[in-house]
Amino acid sequence: MEKSIKINKSKLIRKYDSEIFSVDGKSFDLFVNHKEIAQKLKSKKPYTITVIIDNLNPKFYNNKKYVEKTKETILLLYSELLHEYFFDEFGQIEGNELYGRWLDEYRPIWKKEGAKKELDEHVIKNELGPRYREKILKKYKNHEKLFQSRTKTRRERYYNLPRPLNYIDWRNPYDNIFIWEENGQKLFCKGGSGSSGGRETNSKFIFGLSLINKIKPIKSYLFLYANNNQLYFIKEFSSLTVPYYDIGSNYFLKRNEMESIISGINLMTWKDVSEKSAQILFNRVKLAQKAKKKNRTISG
């Protein structure tokens, strides 16, 4: 296979087989380990999709075509200053301990009142206010602004993949989607680097599918989600091809075992895809012949 692919954004194509992204729902099978994944999915036509995520072009940050904008209520400036003064006085550690005791103290009253307001409001009214109110009112002359309702705008970028695949943790620089057939349906799980759970799922599935790939090659598809929220098809691979990043993270295997499992699969790395052109590099873990033969079969 190619050792690298050059991505020229001016020549990217959007045409691809929509069936690739066609799924019925998310799998809720917990899959205890990678061996269970290999055992359960070996005859269920698994394949992978990797979507490399480009950063949204800054010129689209305020464009409702590219981001969903919602208003969120935030603390009054007065309440924010009360907390600031409190932690300035007590520090983070001691302050958290004291604040926690206050929450425990007022929780029974809060429940008795039917939890109609935030529990913190009891602490603000009875503990923080008496301590710092006069100091704040003396320093800030615009009292109306101190008690004025405040909101902030939340911007959530759209991820224009077919439902139900259109959820993404935007901390991820890539989206790994693992798909297979089961009982007449196509199910999926997602892995990535944004959370500990995502990293564990990512590692577990890559190890499990790598075992299958040694016996029967698993197809992989590579896409780019560009800075204009467009999805572009890059390449189809006849054998398992996944990002090198985060493999083994939050799912530990000894190095020799890990390298033995992923030997022979194609591992991708890339640099900043926000450039007009970018390059994706491919590599394979090579082991001695004896080590390669070790995982030729899948056992339960």
With respect to residue 71, please indicate whether it lies within any of the assigned structural domains.
no
Is 253 in the same domain as 199? Answer: yes
Amino acid letter, 288:
A
DSSP category for residue 228: T
Q: Is residue 154 in some structural domain? A: no
Backbone angles phi, psi at 131, to 5 degrees: -80, -40
What are φ and ψ of residue 224, in 5° steps? -125, 125
Are 9 and 119 members of one domain?
A: no
pLDDT in single tens digits along all 300 residues of the chain: 558 888 887 788 888 999 999 999 999 998 999 999 999 999 999 999 999 999 999 999 999 999 998 988 889 999 999 999 999 999 999 999 999 999 999 999 999 998 888 899 999 999 999 999 999 999 999 999 999 999 998 889 999 999 999 999 888 999 999 999 999 999 999 998 888 889 999 999 999 999 999 999 999 999 999 999 999 999 999 999 999 999 998 898 998 999 999 998 999 998 877 766 778 888 876 544 333 333 334 433
- Flag whether 72 is in a domain: no
Residue after which a domain boundary falls, among 126, 148, 170: 148
Examine residue 300 and state whether it is found in any structural domain, yes or no: no
In a shared domain, residues 50 and 142: no
Contact 297, 23 (CB under 8 A): no
- What is the Cα–Cα distance from 37 to 207, expressed in whole angstroms? 9
83 and 215 fall within a common domain = no
Overall pTM > 0.85: no
Question: Are residues 38 and 135 located together in one domain of the fold?
Answer: no
Same domain, 282 and 164: yes
Interstrand relation of 25-26 and 150-157 (parallel, antiparallel or unpaired):
unpaired
Contact between residue 193 and residue 246 where contact means Cβ atoms under 8 Å apart: yes
Q: What is the pLDDT of residue 109?
A: 93
β-strand partners of 174: 52
Structure tokens at 95: 């302050």
The number of folded domains in the chain is: 2
The last residue of a domain, from among 148, 170, 185: 148
Q: Based on the domain organization, do 182 and 45 belong to the same domain?
A: yes
| Residue 209, in any domain of the structure | yes
Residues in contact with 131: Cβ distance below 8 Å, sequence separation at least 6, in sequence order: 85, 86
Is 117 inside a domain boundary?
A: yes
- 98 shares its domain with 207: no
Q: Judge if 52 and 93 occupy the same domain.
A: no
Let me know if residue 298 belongs to a domain.
no
Domain end (from 123, 148, 173): 148
279 three-state secondary structure: strand
Q: Is residue 239 a part of any domain in this protein?
A: yes
One domain for residues 225 and 134: no
Query: In terms of residue numbers, what domain contains 31?
Result: 4-66+159-293
The separation between CA 24 and the C-alpha centre of its own chain, rounded to angstroms, equals: 21
